[in-house]
Structure 1
Amino acid sequence: MTGSFSIVLDYIVANYGVQNIFWKMYIINLVLSAIAYKLGFARKLSLWKNVFVYFMLFLGNYLTTIFSIMKMPMTESLVIIVIVLTIYRTRMYMQRKAKNASS
């Protein structure tokens, strides 16, 4: 098995080249991480606490991007996390809507 597990990285390299690959992957990972945080873990926080959380997310994505460039499936894992959390949130919304309609 000589294939790569990093489908997103391979796609970007094949279509856009390797110029600025770190920043392209960093932005993709940052957006996916922010969506995953918002869907799964976000609570109502004050403005400064929210700024701090997103700043730490901004810094922490550096390591995730390095792993992505090393052809580990970090971006693909984030995509799967976002899909699963979206399905979960949609089901919860539908259940609450049905519960409120029956009450």
Structure 2
Amino acid sequence: MMLNMMAVISSYLNLVLASANLASMNEQEYVFSRMSGVTRYLYENLPSYDIAGYATFILVFLLSAFVYKLGFAKKLSIGQNIVIYAFLLIGCLILTFLALFLPMVEGLIVAALILIVYKSRLWREKREEAKAARQA
């Protein structure tokens, strides 16, 4: 009787697991359809979800640090820079969770491109002003 009951429970668990696999495939497709572009690409093409999560975090942190450096950084001491980048690292943990379903990476790429254009124009204007000052 005990073996019979174990067989019933085992077959029931197999049925539950089989239906869970079907449900998880539908859930997985649903989640992938809701993800933003870069994050979806990482999660679909990297070997595991853990690696994709770390890659998303690293990408968000590097882009955030690049945008900070281009747009907001001032000359600070090394200790102050360490504190700023430590808080940036903590903030990027939150941004990584937002990056799963919101276009955070894409927004950081656009912000970096805008700041690159701004800095290149600023550099060119300063160079032209210095050239005009030397000629005068």
TM-score normalised by structure 1 residue count: 0.90
Q: 115, 118, 134: which is aligned to 1:88?
A: 118
Q: 97, 102, 125: which is aligned to 1:66?
A: 97
For 1:6, the equivalent position in structure 2 comes to 36
Q: Which 4+ stretches in 1 moved above 4 angstroms?
A: none
For 2:4, the equivalent position in structure 1 comes to none
More helix by share: 2
Q: RCO (CA 8 Å, sep 6+): is it higher in 1 or 2?
A: 1
Q: Partners in 1 of 2:54 and 2:63 — Cα distance?
A: 14
Q: 44, 57, 74: which is aligned to 1:43?
A: 74
Amino acid at match of 2:97: I
Q: Partners in 2 of 1:16 and 1:23 — Cα distance?
A: 11
TM-score normalised by structure 2 residue count: 0.69
For 2:130, the equivalent position in structure 1 comes to 100
Indicate the larger mover: 12-21 or 46-55. 12-21
Q: Partners in 2 of 1:99 and 1:7 — Cα distance?
A: 42
Which is greater in Rg? Answer: 2
For 1:23, the equivalent position in structure 2 comes to 54
Identity %: 29
Give the aligned length: 101
Measured after TM superposition, the shift of residue 81 of structure 1 is 0.5
